[in-house]
Each structure stands twice: as structure tokens, then as C-alpha cells.
Structure 1
């Protein structure tokens, strides 16, 4: 503080520095005419509000612009980089407008948040710029992880986020028992026995009724009654003439029984199909370690690499790094989220990344229908805050945090977050709710089998009828031959007798032919 002394008054000022700029503001005064009273009216305003105007102070900003959900960069009339959108970009513009800042933005290409180099205790990328003081602040979101606090400062979190596992949903499996599961084996056995039993009772009633009923319209046999009972079971009616009242009453009873069974079967089938869930191959990091035919990876320059690479060798993360990643980095580590998701579509590959950026890429790059083929594990790993990065011991931290608190309390931060982030896809995430060809494959195969059997039986029937007709033709030909021979003999006898009769009148010896 500095006091300016005048003839009859004293003014008290505070002098402070914002970067390279020295600024002063009056805090109060003492006047001899005010009965020796010191009026420190400037202290009625908090320090952060008093110093809200940074007088156009220029700060150097390094910004990754990989993810448009968080940062979108453009150029002004002088071809200098400016923030034009994104969640973090709009927060930085708010800082600029309210605190009267000027940004000198350095764009960072690719996934350049930074990797730790243990050999010289330094960082690359955005973290390296902040560590070396080449940047005063970051212009994008960055993970405020504990292992980074030694090198840089962070604002309070602008979002809490975590990483999730992404992999392609398993293909639908063909199950023969799809339509058998609603009933237990005991019920299916009982139903199988009711068919011949119902046919036998119906045929017995028919036989008994013949003794006092001469009506022949109800003529039947056991085979016809068996297929009639089967038709009733599948609610397709009972063909033929029902006959006497006793048979009608029995058939109505069979229909009522089978209708109740059919309704119970349909209700159970609908309930099972509604609640059916696919059997997921990966449900945790332990499954990744134990599934030998599945690969696992993440972005090569992401924070996940440090978490796995520098974990204890005996820990789960250390074992996964040793077994799944270290020996085949080229196969498992990718350059960006889109590459990782593409690999997950085409192979047995589990990709770990932030859930919100991955969701946006799935929707925009692959489309909603394709996005629904990816299963996102509900468990969130390595949950922490995303913040604005600052160089160590930055004087901007307190002012940025104060501004973030105002945005948070006013609800503007949440509104902008909801506006910037992509909503979750509305698709069948867990349940198989859509019927496809594999669901009805057993029924179609049964239909094909029935058609094949029907054609085989038809061939047997044709062969039987042909054989029967052939035998009949042979028998008829034999009879015709016999009849033909018989007629020939009769004609021969007739001619012989007629010749003999004529010869007796001319010859003395009738037995001698000319």
C-alpha cells in the first residue's frame, strides 16, 4: 500500500501487478475536516472485484483444438487465432471480456496435451508449455490429475469426467431353444402326451357311438384325430365333422385347455424377450486381462498411458500394461479417438477413452445406427476434473476461479455444458428389443424341415401309387392275356369243329386232313 499525503488529507492506494503491468487503485482517505476519521471505503469491495479489470493484459495461451466440443479456433482479420466456440473456448472468451484480457494463442496440433518424460522430469505438449512458462494458460480442457500438480496449476474443475470402455456388441447367437425356454421340459413332455391321448379319446368316443348312432358323416380314424388335436394345440381348429354331442363337448374342452396354455406361452415369451440381455464378453478390467483373444488400448499420448505404464507391476493396471500393451503398442495404441473406435468396430478390441468426446465422434462420424453397435461399459474409470491449465504459481488462478464460481452459481456453466455435449444415443444399449432373423431362425428351420418331410412323404406316396398302379397294370395285362388266349382257343376250337364237319361228308377217313 502507498499513502499520498496532502496538506489537509491523506489518500491510501494499493499497487499491484498483472503480468508486466503495474496498476494502482485508491482504497480510502483521511481528511482533517472529518474529525480525524480514516475512511477505507475501497475495502468494501473484495480484492478480486477490485482487480477485475486487467487493463488489456496480454497472456500467452497454448490450446489443443482436437475436440470441437471443448475448443474451436478460428482467425480474426489479422489472421491471428481466436476462440470461436466450444465449451472451454467460450469460458476463455468470458475471461477475456470480463477481465479485459488479450490472448496470444498458440495452436497445438493433434493429441498434444502432454506426455511425461521421466528421464528429464519434463512434459511435452501443452503441459510442457505451461511447465516451461512458454504459456500463461491453456485454452482447452486438460485433466487436473494429481501427478501434474507438481509442474502446473489448475483452475477449479469445469467438468467432472471419466473414461469408459468401448467395444463392439456381440453378434446375435443362434439358439435352438429360443422358443422352448418359456416352458420347462416337464410341460413340453406333458403336452406331447396329450396329443395321442386326446386323439385316442376322440376316436374311442367315435367307436362307442357307432353302436347306437347310424350317422356315418362323422367317420374318422386315429390319424385324423391326432392331427386334429395338433391343430387345436396351435389354435388352428379341428377339421372334420364333430359328430355326437359327447365328441363336441370333448373337443371344446381340448380347445379351452390349449387356449389357456397358448396364452401362458405367449405372455412368458414376450416377458423373456423384453428382459433378454446379451451376454457381454467384457465387464471389467479383470476381463480384459483374462480374455486372451481380446486386445486393449487407448490413445498413445493420453494420460491413460502414464496411469498404466507407471503403475506397480503387481497391480491390475501394471499387469494389463505388461500383458496387453507393452509388447504390441503398434497394434493397441492409436493416435485419436476415431481410430480407436474404428478398430473396435472391426476387431476384438476394447478402447478406453473419455465418454463424451467418443459419443460425439460415434454420432457424427459413424452415424446413429452404427453407434448403437458399440457397447459402452457403464463403469467409469480414472474419474477426475477437467480444468483450465495455468503455469505454476500463476496470479491468474485466483481471478479465473472467482469468475468460474460466478458462472457456476448463475447456472450459466451448466447450461453451456449441456449445450456443448452430445446426448446419449437412444438405442438398445443393453436389451435385445428388436426381432431379427436369428430370433425366428428355429421356426423357419422347423418350417423348412416340415416342407422337406412333406416332399419326402409325397415322393413316397407317388412311388407307392406308381407301384400300386404298376402292379395293377401288370395284373390287368395278365388277365387280358388270359382272356385273349381263351378267346383264341375258342376260335381255334370253333374253326376245327367247322372244318371237321365239312370233311366228314367228303372223306371216308375223317381223321385225315388234306
Structure 2
């Protein structure tokens, strides 16, 4: 323990060695201690207090004699105690400057929440008491004049039965640190913290922080906040950010929403579904353990399966695969034609026959005629192997496609969302999903981000989630947001899918806050006792999966009418085309027979 004395006064600052190692003096100059000068009651009280605190692990104690000292702020930002006439300003000034001391040491809340304060004064007035309500542990030594004897009294700040802070008297002289600070074993001693929350209506955002029509807050995070308050012994008042945002960095380096409140030190704790991101870490702290691990997800309205006529035949393979298959048919047909002409294979010198042979081979229909040349047969053998493999892959994909009813759930992964062009994609602004999409360079997220932010439609990142949900109801719209929130809107009409992107929801605190290790210890205890798991089950009870249709018996595949629509249409189109061809051939035949040609070219 170090104490610093400022010359020609009795103003002292006791500091722990840990602070002394930082090389910063908040008050005063050289260390000084002279017992011979201790004569008055206040000075004797100072000697007693020093003797008790000298060899104990008390973090900090401020000692100030208001009868002989006043505090002044120097040009370099430090505070200096100067000798003046009787004035009680020094007491209140030090209490008011608790945050200033923390800023000088690049920390937050240590002088208010952790360090212990002692004021040695002959008068504690209402001003001192009002300022003392901002300090967790504050004791005052007062000398009372009783005739020719000055008797010291030790008072400490505590709580009464009406939840109001008041002074209590303890015996003198103190023998232990517990005698000086009787309430130090009760955590933060009931100090009131400002807790920032971001609340929503029950049906919109849950189950983390919810606010009903009467202004009452509930939710998983609020329940945990009550556990923190009971364990650490503090009260709290809830405030919401004026802009209602979560936290977005502005061009000038400032932040909006909850993160902005932490940056400006307008609140002590953030209790909300706030995500830990690398961008936010330089301006605020987070508890080491999350109370919930969230995933990003997306929701869209299921399309009408009967609307896609030929989709079921073409969808098992991507467009690029179909293009490669068509290119292979043309390439193989051209190769047969070249080989046929080179080897004088009369049948394969006909271009149409080469094309027909390639198509029938791919469809595994075969042909009574095969190439006569060795080169043609070798090419035919490898093409047959390709056709067998392609047919097996296509048949398997088509069967799986019909079994999984992917016509009603065309998008399962974000890669599917990035590749499609029929649906617009949007996300709510001001939150972690928008921050991630704007900052990532990975695929498919970068492609999705370009479609959202470079489309020219600012409504694609509208701040109101209700707006996005309304667009989802209209159809042809995909909304990306937190999976737990989207589950509230899951139904047979809408498809909700979870992505692999994990986000941790933590309690937030000011940068280098003294409360951070305290919250970490409580969070570890919460996990060890299983409270987090019980809260998850309370707010996320296990639900039965949606049964939008009666599932088929095990091992069977139930086909629905709309699954066969395009196949029936294809067969009908083939029959129609065959009928038209038959009519044309019939006309050509009778034209030749009775010499009443309609087109001269058909009669030749």
C-alpha cells in the first residue's frame, strides 16, 4: 500500500501497488509520512486508519481533511491538493472525480465499484452523502467535540429497509479492514447501475429482452441480469438507446445504439441480444462466456409446386451441367461424323444419323448400327460409359428431388440463395447480420451482400423487421436474420433454414471495466449450476416438428399430383408432336399418290 502526501496539507491518497506500477499519480507528488506532525483528532484517526489498511489488500482509499485542504485541477489534467482556509469542497470534489481518476489510468469503474474510499473530515454534510451514493464502499471518520476531548466516529454508507442509502455508525478504533468497511463482503453494496437494453414487442423479438404494453421487461437476458444483481448485490435502472439501434460504426469513429452508449459511458452494462464482433471490441468489453449461441438464418414463402411445369425434370442438375451435356452430344456427333468420313463409313457420314446416334446412346436406347472403324467403336465405348454414369446420377438426383419435396423448399443453404435470381434478398439494418454482410469478403456472403446493398433498393436493408416479414408474405423475397427470431414465424407456408454462421450473445460492459471480471465469475457459476440450460429450455421448449402433410410410411415414397405435372405435360407434348408429324406424313403420302402437291418440295 502506498500513500501520497501533498506538501502543506493533510490530503492523502492511498494507492495499491498495482496502480503504482503504472507510473501515474492521480493526486499529489512525493510519498511522505511524518508521525511527529500527527496531533489533531483527524491526524490521529489517519494514523489508525493507515495502521489498519497498511498491510491489507484494500485497493484504494481516499483520505481528505476538509478543514485544511481544497482540490484544484492542474493544467496537465492531474489533481493537486493545496492548503487554504476552511472548506469542505475537497471531499465532494474527490467523490465527483471518481470517473476522472479511472480515465487517467485508462480504466473504467474501479474507483466507483472496486476501490474503497475513506474520508477523514470534521463535517459530513448532505452534499458529501449525495456524492457518496455513486461510490460502492465509502466510510467517513468524523471527530465529535465532547468538551475538551475530540472523539472519532466511523460511519459507513449502507442501505436501509426502504432501499435508500444512509450512514451507519461502527465502533472505534477499527482493528481490521472489515471494521473500516463492514459491507465490503456484500459485493457492490447495493449501488445502482445503469443497464442499457434494446426491447421489442413480445411477438417480434424473443426470448432475450421483451417489453410488454405496461413497460415491463422480461426475457432470458433479464432473468440473468437479476441473477447478476442478486449475486453481486447491485440495483439497476433500465434505459434504451435513443436511436433504438444495436450499434453501427459511423464515418467519424463514433457508434450508434447500445455500443454508442458504452463508448460514451452512458451506461454501465448492456443486457440485450448483442453480438460480439471484432469491430466492437475496441470500444467496449464483453463477458467471456455467452449466455446464448445464435445462428443466422433465412425465411421465405414456399412456392406453389404446381407452378413449375418443367422444373422437376430440369432441377436435379444445374444449368451448367445441362449445358455440358448438350455440348457433349454435339461434340460426340461431330467426332462420329469426322471419323465416318475419314474411314469411309457410309452410315456415319450423315450428320443427322450421327446426331441421332449420340442422343440414343445418351438415353441408353442403343442403335442397330454401330461404327465399323476401330476409332469409332473406341469413341462409342467411352461415350456409353459416360451415358451410363450420367443416367445413374440423374436418376438418383431426380428420385431424391421428388422424395424431399424440394419444389416447396428450393433453398436450403446460402449458396442456393446466392445462385438464384428469382428472389430478392434483404436484411434488417443496424444489427450484426448487416455488419457481417458489409465487412465479409467470403463467398457466398459477398455475392448476397452485393445483391442487398448494391441493388439501389434501400428497402432491402430497411431497419424494421416487420417490413421484411410483410415482403416475405408477398412472396419472392428472402429475409436474412437471427434464426431464433425467424422461428417465431415458422409455419407450413414459410420455410425457415439455419446457417452455419454462429454469433454469441454476451453481456456488454464499458472498455476496461472493473465489472468485467465480476460478471465473468458469475457467468461461470451460472454455467456450472446449469441455470443457462434451464433458461434455454424455459424459453425454447422442445417443440414437435411441423407436420404440414401426413408423412408416408417408412421405406415408401408418396408421389403427389403436382410432382408429376410436368412429366404428364411432357408426355402430352410428345404425343401432340407425334400426331402433328403423322398428319404431315399422311398429307405427303396422299399428295404423292394423287398428284395434288401442296408444296413442290414435299412431292420430290
TM-score grouping bracket, smaller chain normalisation: 0.5 to 0.7
Residues 337 and 75 from structure 1, CA distance in 2 versus in 1: closer, same or farther, beyond 3 angstroms?
closer
Residues 429 and 15 from structure 1, CA distance in 2 versus in 1: closer, same or farther, beyond 3 angstroms?
farther
Asked if 1:64 is matched to 2:198, the reply is yes
Asked if 1:359 is matched to 2:487, the reply is yes
Q: How far, CA to CA, are the matches of 2:549 and 2:506 in structure 1?
A: 33
Residues 346 and 134 from structure 1, CA distance in 2 versus in 1: closer, same or farther, beyond 3 angstroms?
same
Q: Secondary structure at the match of 2:271?
A: strand
Match of 1:106 among 212, 236, 239: 239
Compare CA radii of gyration and give the structure with the larger one: 1
- CA deviations on 1:250-281 (whole Å, 9 max, x unpaired) are xxxxxxxxxxxxxxxxxxxxx99994432443
CA contact (8 A) 1:15 1:22 kept: no
Residues 176 and 24 from structure 1, CA distance in 2 versus in 1: closer, same or farther, beyond 3 angstroms?
closer
Correspondence for 2:414: 285
Residues 356 and 149 from structure 1, CA distance in 2 versus in 1: closer, same or farther, beyond 3 angstroms?
same
- CA deviations on 1:28-63 (whole Å, 9 max, x unpaired) are xxxxxxxxxxx9999xxxxxx975521111212221
Correspondence for 1:481: none
Q: How far, CA to CA, are the matches of 2:308 and 2:199 in structure 1?
A: 48
Asked if 1:392 is matched to 2:392, the reply is no
Q: How far, CA to CA, are the matches of 1:174 and 1:51 in structure 2?
A: 70
Q: How far, CA to CA, are the matches of 1:272 and 1:104 in structure 2?
A: 56
CA contact (8 A) 1:58 1:101 kept: yes
State the shift of 1:422 in Å: 5.8
Correspondence for 2:497: 377
Residues 282 and 408 from structure 1, CA distance in 2 versus in 1: closer, same or farther, beyond 3 angstroms?
same
Q: Secondary structure at the match of 2:471?
A: helix
Correspondence for 2:275: 143
Q: How far, CA to CA, are the matches of 1:341 and 1:310 in structure 2?
A: 25
Correspondence for 2:532: 413
* Cα RMSD after superposing both structures: 4.2
- CA deviations on 1:41-99 (whole Å, 9 max, x unpaired) are 99xxxxxx9755211112122210123411134799xxxx7x64200011111222222
Q: Secondary structure at the match of 2:455?
A: helix
Q: Secondary structure at the match of 1:167?
A: strand
State the shift of 1:396 in Å: 0.9
Hey, which of these two has a bigger chunk of helix by percent? 1
State the shift of 1:142 in Å: 0.5
Correspondence 1:81-480 to 2 at 5 A: 84-108=217-241, 112-117=245-250, 119-155=251-287, 156-173=289-306, 275-279=403-407, 280-312=409-441, 316-360=444-488, 362=489, 371-381=491-501, 383-421=502-540, 423-424=542-543, 426-428=545-547, 438=561
Residues 328 and 288 from structure 1, CA distance in 2 versus in 1: closer, same or farther, beyond 3 angstroms?
farther
Larger RCO: 1 or 2 (CA < 8 Å, sep 6+): 1
CA contact (8 A) 2:296 2:483 kept: yes
Give the TM-score normalised by structure 2: 0.45
Correspondence for 1:482: none
State the shift of 1:380 in Å: 2.7
Q: How far, CA to CA, are the matches of 1:296 and 1:334 in structure 2?
A: 12
- CA deviations on 1:338-368 (whole Å, 9 max, x unpaired) are 33233222121111111112212x16xxxxx
Q: How far, CA to CA, are the matches of 1:416 and 1:373 in structure 2?
A: 30
- CA deviations on 1:437-493 (whole Å, 9 max, x unpaired) are 846998xx99xx9xxxxxxxxxxxxxxxxxxxxxxxxxxxxxxxxxxxxxxxxxxxx
Correspondence for 1:240: none
Q: How many residues align?
A: 316
Residues 15 and 51 from structure 1, CA distance in 2 versus in 1: closer, same or farther, beyond 3 angstroms?
farther
State the shift of 1:149 in Å: 0.6
Structure 2: runs of 5+ lacking an equivalent:
3-13, 15-45, 61-110, 114-133, 140-174, 311-398, 573-604
Q: Secondary structure at the match of 1:403?
A: helix
Q: How far, CA to CA, are the matches of 2:481 and 2:236 in structure 1?
A: 30
State the shift of 1:150 in Å: 0.9
State the shift of 1:22 in Å: 5.5
State the shift of 1:141 in Å: 2.2
Q: Secondary structure at the match of 1:404?
A: helix
State the shift of 1:170 in Å: 2.8
Q: How far, CA to CA, are the matches of 1:302 and 1:121 in structure 2?
A: 17
Residues 417 and 137 from structure 1, CA distance in 2 versus in 1: closer, same or farther, beyond 3 angstroms?
same
Q: How far, CA to CA, are the matches of 1:147 and 1:433 in structure 2?
A: 49
Q: How far, CA to CA, are the matches of 2:281 and 2:523 in structure 1?
A: 20
Q: How far, CA to CA, are the matches of 2:492 and 2:403 in structure 1?
A: 18
Residues 423 and 121 from structure 1, CA distance in 2 versus in 1: closer, same or farther, beyond 3 angstroms?
farther
Residues 167 and 101 from structure 1, CA distance in 2 versus in 1: closer, same or farther, beyond 3 angstroms?
same
